Structure formats: C-alpha cells, structure tokens
Amino acid sequence: MLRTISRSWGRIFAVLLKEFVQLRRERLTFAMLLGVPIMQLVLFGYAINGDPRQLPTVVVALDDGPLVRSIVRAAQNTDYFHVVGSVSDSEAEQLLASGKVQFALLFPADFSRRLLRGERPPLVVYADASDPAATGPAVAALLALPGLALGHDLHGAVAHLRAGTTPFEVRLHRRYNPEGFTAYNVVPGLMGVILTMTLVMMTSMAMTRERERGTLENLLATPVRPLEMMAGKILPYVLIGYGQVLLIYLASRLLFDVPMVGSFALLTAMVLLFITATLAVGFTFSTIARSQAQSMQMTVFYFLPNVLLSGFMFPFRGMPRWAQIIGEVLPLTHFLRIVRAIMLKGSAFSSLWPEAAAIGAFIAVMGVIAMLRYRQTID
C-alpha cells in the first residue's frame, strides 16, 4: 500500500516538474502570469483616482478687483482648480469645447460693486460636464465658495455681509451634458473599448491560427508580399469593426438617447483611423505569439491599461502624471476624446486633428514593428 502511494506521488511530482519545464520554455506565458497581477496592483494602487484635482480652469474677469482675486485664490486653495490664465468669454468657450480646460469662472463687470451693495451678484461657472465623474467633487467645492471665500475681506463697514445670506451666488452651467447622465460619457466610449478588445484578439488569433495549422508556409510560398498579406488579413476586420460601431451607435441613439451634435461622416472617418491602429496592434501580436492562447494573453495584457488609463472608467485628469504619459501613448485615449467631442460637443476636424495625428503616429510605429517582425517570421 505504502509503495503504491509512493509511486503515485512520484508520478505526480514528475508531471509537476514537466509543467514547470513547459512554463520555462513558454517565456511569454510565464511573463503574462506575472505581468498581469503586477500591472493590476500598480494601476489600481497608484494610478486610479476617482477624485481628480488641479483641474485646468480659466478666469473671465470683467471685474478684476481685490474681491474677485480673493474668490479666485479661494477656488485654487480647494486644490480642485488650477487657474491657467485669464481669457475673454469667446476664448473660454473655445477652450472648453476643445477639452483643454475643465472650468471657466466668469465675473461680471459690476461684480464687486453689487457685492458691496449686498445684491448677491452671480459668479457664472461654465463646466465641461461631458464626464460627470471628473467634475462632481469640484462642483461641490465651488458651491461652498460663497460662504467661505471672503471671510477675511468683509470687515469694517461691510462686515454685515458675512451674516445671513452668502455675499454672492454661484450659477453653474454644465456644458455638453446638463443632466449629468453617465450614459452620455460611457456609451460613446464603448465604441473604442469594444473595438480594442475584439479586433486585437481576432486579428492576432487569425495569423497565429495560420501558423498552428501549418497553412502559413503555403501563404509564404505564394507571390503575396508582407504588406499585401497584412492588408488582406486586416480588411475583413475593418468591415466587422464598422458593424460593431454601427450597432453601438444605434443603441446609443435609440436606447440611451445620447445626442449626436457633430458630423456622422467625420465620426466614420475617425473610426476607420482607430480601427487601423487596433488591427496594427493585433497583427504585431500575431508575429510574437506562438499559439492562439498566447494571443489571447497578450490581448488581455494590452486591453487592461487601455481601459484603466484612457479615461473610460476613471477621470483621466485624476491620474498621476506618469500614468497620464502612458495613457497618451494609447490610441484609445485619443479616440475617446474624439468620439465624445463629435457626439456631445459637435467638434470639427480643426479641433480634433491633434488627437487624430497621435493615432496616426501610433499606426506608423506599430506598422513598422509589425512588418519587421513579419519579415523575421519569414526568415
């Protein structure tokens, strides 16, 4: 009996050693097993922040008196606002539409005079509310300003203004998503998220499947060039990607009532650009992975930072600087800005070209890597 048990444990130990040897040979799989939990630990522990601070803010100060400056300083002291300049009303509108600033504080020309008379003048606040999660805590801090901002300024003959009602009021204008519906932010972003997940996986597995079945050698024996091979493999998935986008777009309009303020033709062109970037990643992965299982592992490894660092699930400006730099490299970050700007703000290409250029640069880099890796595969 003991001898039988000993032999059984010996066989189990032999299989155990065999699995470790197999893992050592499949270095990519072993790296993914360690890399994914480490990435999750770092991103969730350090990069994710649901309470963004230091949001870029401009001031439209038609009245630049000492009381106005005290209110601006009080807003900055909350740590939610980072004043980047003083601009005109029209410039503030352009900066909000382009997404370069999150808030604009407008002080009317007679603000100080009316305040000293006890008339409670309005501080008009324009907020880019296309992402409600990014503006929520900051808006709460703004609404508390009237009771806190001028505590050290109202003394002497005007000390009575500190008693009773607040000396001024905050009039908040939420732009692009007045009701604060989360669906307005999430549903358009799903276009990029679903394309990233499905197209990278399908493209990488398509080429890897050819290698596993032994049909890749037959393709290499034909006169088809690497660039032609890449184009032929990618084009069917372009159509699949457009089908997915159309489905999400119809759902956003019919089920969630997400507005479409901008040009549908421009959105279609930007979708094609992003699909190309996504498929270039999948093709690159296919030249690295040795099996379809490894292709899926690499897809997950690529998908995780895209979802967490692009601004889809968490406010982009709430992340530390190093995480924002990584996020700027990812094409999903720029595509989310594009699709939200077109659908919610009605932005034209003239304000979106920097984001499109970033995706184009990503395509160029990934295309070169994919072709170099593909030639090595041939050799």
Mean residue pLDDT of the chain comes to: 83
Does pLDDT of 177 surpass 70? yes
CB contact at 8 A, 262 and 348 = yes
Q: Which CATH class is domain 55-175?
A: alpha beta
Query: What pLDDT digit, counting tens, does each position of 204-261 carry?
Result: 887 777 767 666 666 666 666 666 766 777 788 888 899 999 999 999 999 999 999 9
Query: What pLDDT digit, counting tens, does each position of 36-49 carry?
Result: 778 777 777 777 77
pLDDT at 207: 73
Q: Burial, 325: exposed, middle or buried (Cβ in 10 Å; 0-12, 13-18, 19+)?
A: exposed
Q: Which residues of 21-57 are buried (b: 16+ CB within 10 A; e: fewer)?
A: eeeeebebbeebeeeeeeeeeebeeebbeeebeebbb
Does pLDDT of 379 surpass 60? no
pLDDT at 133: 82
Does pLDDT of 25 surpass 70? no
Torsions phi, psi for 121 (to 5 deg) = -70, 155
pLDDT at 30: 65
Query: What does each C-alpha distance from 223 to 208, 231, 353 come to in angstroms?
Result: 20, 14, 38
Query: What pLDDT digit, counting tens, does each position of 52-85 carry?
Result: 888 999 999 888 888 888 888 888 988 899 999 8
Q: Which part of the chain is CATH 3.40.1710.10? A: 55-175
To the nearest whole percent, how much of the chain has pLDDT over 90? 30
Does pLDDT of 100 surpass 70? yes
Query: What pLDDT digit, counting tens, does each position of 318-356 carry?
Result: 888 898 999 999 999 999 999 999 999 999 998 899 999
Identify the CA nearest to 207 among candidates 234, 240, 239: 234
Torsions phi, psi for 64 (to 5 deg) = -110, 40
Lowest-pLDDT range of 131-145, 216-230, 263-277? 216-230
